[in-house]
Amino acid sequence: MNKREFLKLNALATGAVLFAPITGWAFAPAADTFTLPNLDYGFEALEPHIDTATMQIHHGKHHAAYVTNLNKAVAGSAFENKTILDILPKLTSKTPAALRNNGGGHFNHSLFWKILSPKANTQPGAELTSAINGVFGSLDKLKETMTESGKGLFGSGWLWLSVDKNKKLFVSTTPNQDNPLMSGLVKQVGTPILGIDVWEHAYYLKYQNKRADYLTAIWNVIQWEEVTKNFQTAISAVKK
């Protein structure tokens, strides 16, 4: 099947024909806007907490597929040439599911790789520590709250620490590849600063059905300096 036939089929299959004429899809130039980001560390760097094979498949197959399919989904649509941060808040239950699933998939994994690191003993910065203590009591209590939330999430999804419009931290989970930036789709809206992938593909090779063990181990490779940067960005982005 050539690209043109594929796009036609894809448009029909997703019902996208309702949003864009077939010709718009068929002649749309390939919009290779989104690319797979490189990791800042090796696939083996997070051992023993996250195993090498999981990292290779997760980054090289799963995330790569979200990027490929996101580029297909935006080609010829109203979202062509928009940034991922432009796209996510504009999604609604009426936009094609491919945009929601692959747009979320691309953003979520890009954030996830950045906040993981083999660096030991990183700590949240002073302002983030104070925000964590204010809402959760302590960093350990935050970890406990998040681990419990993640254990309670049914099926595949993500576990988040985010900043709301009052600059307050909150913990939430989202199904599939949704995230708190999708204000037209999720109940708890905010700017995510830490996200943990709770799909089985993130842990099954090493932990099998023991999601709780994965959620406990992952704190060993969370890079708090990066989460602190995300917190500062989120706080300054909140409109006064």
Binding residues for Mn ion (CB under 5 A):
197, 199
State in angstroms the smallest separation of the CB of 169 from Mn ion: 23
- Look up tokens 């068929």; give the residue: 26
Asked if omega into 96 is within 30° of 0 (cis), the reply is no
Q: Which is nearer to Mn ion, 16 or 146 (CB)?
A: 146
Smallest separation (angstroms) from Mn ion to the CB of 64: 11
Nearer Cβ to Mn ion, position 178 or 197? 197
Per-residue CA distances from 130 to 51, 124, 172, 237 (Å): 33, 9, 20, 19
In the complex, the smallest distance separating the C-beta of residue 237 from Mn ion, rounded to whole angstroms, is 25
Distance between CA atoms of residues 200 and 198, nearest Å: 6
Q: Which residue, 74 or 196, is less far from Mn ion as judged by CB?
A: 196
The DSSP call for residue 36 is: P
**Quick one: 59 or 228, whose CB is closer to Mn ion?**
59
172 φ/ψ angles, rounded to the nearest 5 degrees: -150, 165
Report the nearest approach of Mn ion to the CB of residue 61 (Å).
10
Handedness of CA 26, 85, 116, 205 (dihedral sign): negative
Q: What share of the chain is helix, strand, coil (3-state, %, to 5)?
A: 50, 10, 40
Cβ pair 136, 142 in contact under 8 A: yes
Q: How far is the CB of 199 from Mn ion (least distance, A)?
A: 5
CA distance 77 to 237: 28
73: which 2 tokens?
Answer: 């989904």
CB of residue 62 to Mn ion, shortest distance in Å: 5
